[in-house]
């Protein structure tokens, strides 16, 4: 796990040096852009618009803010660094809130929080107290050159930091108010369907099946063979809501019974093995 960021957490007068490590890795399969005629890789060059499209090296590039048409003020790394205060560089928890109060729409990237510099006891104290009270610490800090709202939370004994979106970054739902009224019978069938499909969340059982098919397709092409189109089959479109609920309930009930039988057989086999 690659090192990500060095910082510190403070609450009250307690100061805890930490490191942040990315909690999520990118598993996407990468593709390069290729010229269709020559099979040669396509490259993108950074050029200067007012310099006869001269290519610009990375060390020649700075950030500019356009305050008028074609007029820029330049900011370099030192300018951004001068704007930071000691408070900005620390994850200073301003308040603690209940976990259930935070809408997941506010969560962005996640990082594992690891103590350093002999701060294990203070770290453990904060972690255990937050877990006991089921609280989330809300703070603002500078990550890179951007001020970020963050949530410090504890899950299964691990302290995790989530980048959060600011309130003004969350867009309003464009959906209009739904005025349709459902019947008691429809509601009962829908809640029964939800009950039949309810289970404990086991993230390990969800696999990226498209990625697996893509990996197989890549190997197929390497072997000089053509990819065979998958049989998608026809969709069973049921227009009538009640018919759709009835058929869904029938299928989910059968699935639930099959799952129950499978679980019971596993228990029986485990008992026999012991």
- The whole-number pLDDT of residue 88 equals 65
What is the CATH topology of the domain spanning 3-25+83-169? Answer: Ku70; Chain: A; Domain 2 (2.40.290)
For tokens 């951007």, the residue is 146
Q: HSE on the CB side for 125, CA within 13 Å? A: 10
Q: Calculate the alpha carbon distances from 25 to 2, 5, 61, 110 in Å.
A: 10, 15, 29, 10
The token pair that represents 74 in the structure block: 């330049």
The pLDDT value given to residue 269: 67
> For the chain, what are the domain ranges?
3-25+83-169, 184-273
pLDDT at site 33: 92
Which residues lie below 8 Å from residue 83, measured CB to CB, with a gap of 6+?
A: none
Find where tokens 């255990």 sit. Answer: 128
The pLDDT tens digits along the chain (274 residues) read 565 788 899 888 888 999 999 999 888 999 999 999 999 999 888 998 888 888 999 888 889 999 999 899 998 888 877 777 666 678 989 999 998 999 999 999 999 999 988 889 999 999 999 999 999 999 998 876 678 899 999 998 899 999 999 999 999 888 888 778 888 998 898 998 888 888 888 888 888 888 898 899 889 988 998 888 877 665 666 568 788 888 888 888 888 787 776 766 666 666 666 6
The pLDDT score that the predictor gives to residue 126 is: 93
């Amino acid at each position: 796990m690659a090192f990500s960021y060095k910082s510190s957490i403070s609450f009250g007068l307690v100061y805890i040096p930490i490191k942040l490590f990315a909690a999520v890795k990118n598993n996407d399969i990468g593709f390069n852009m290729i010229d269709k005629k020559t099979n040669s890789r396509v490259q993108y060059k950074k050029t200067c618009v007012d310099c006869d499209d001269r290519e610009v090296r990375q060390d020649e590039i700075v950030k500019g803010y356009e305050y008028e048409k074609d007029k820029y003020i330049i900011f370099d790394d030192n300018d951004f660094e001068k704007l930071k205060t000691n408070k900005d560089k620390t994850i200073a928890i301003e308040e603690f809130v209940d976990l259930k109060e935070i809408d997941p729409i506010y969560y962005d990237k996640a990082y594992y929080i690891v103590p350093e510099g002999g701060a294990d006891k203070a770290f453990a104290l904060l972690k255990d107290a937050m877990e006991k009270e089921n609280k989330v610490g809300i703070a603002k800090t500078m990550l890179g050159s951007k001020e970020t709202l963050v949530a410090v939370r504890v899950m299964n004994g691990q302290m995790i930091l989530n980048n959060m979106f600011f309130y003004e970054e969350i867009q309003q739902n464009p959906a209009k108010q739904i005025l349709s009224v459902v019947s008691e019978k429809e509601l009962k069938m829908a809640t029964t369907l939800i009950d039949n499909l309810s289970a404990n969340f086991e993230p390990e059982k969800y696999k990226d099946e498209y990625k697996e098919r893509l990996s197989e397709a890549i190997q197929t092409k390497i072997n000089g063979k053509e990819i065979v189109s998958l049989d998608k089959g026809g969709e069973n479109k049921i227009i009538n809501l009640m018919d759709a609920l009835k058929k869904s309930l029938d299928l989910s009930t059968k699935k639930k019974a099959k799952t129950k039988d499978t679980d019971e057989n596993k228990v029986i086999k485990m008992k026999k093995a012991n």
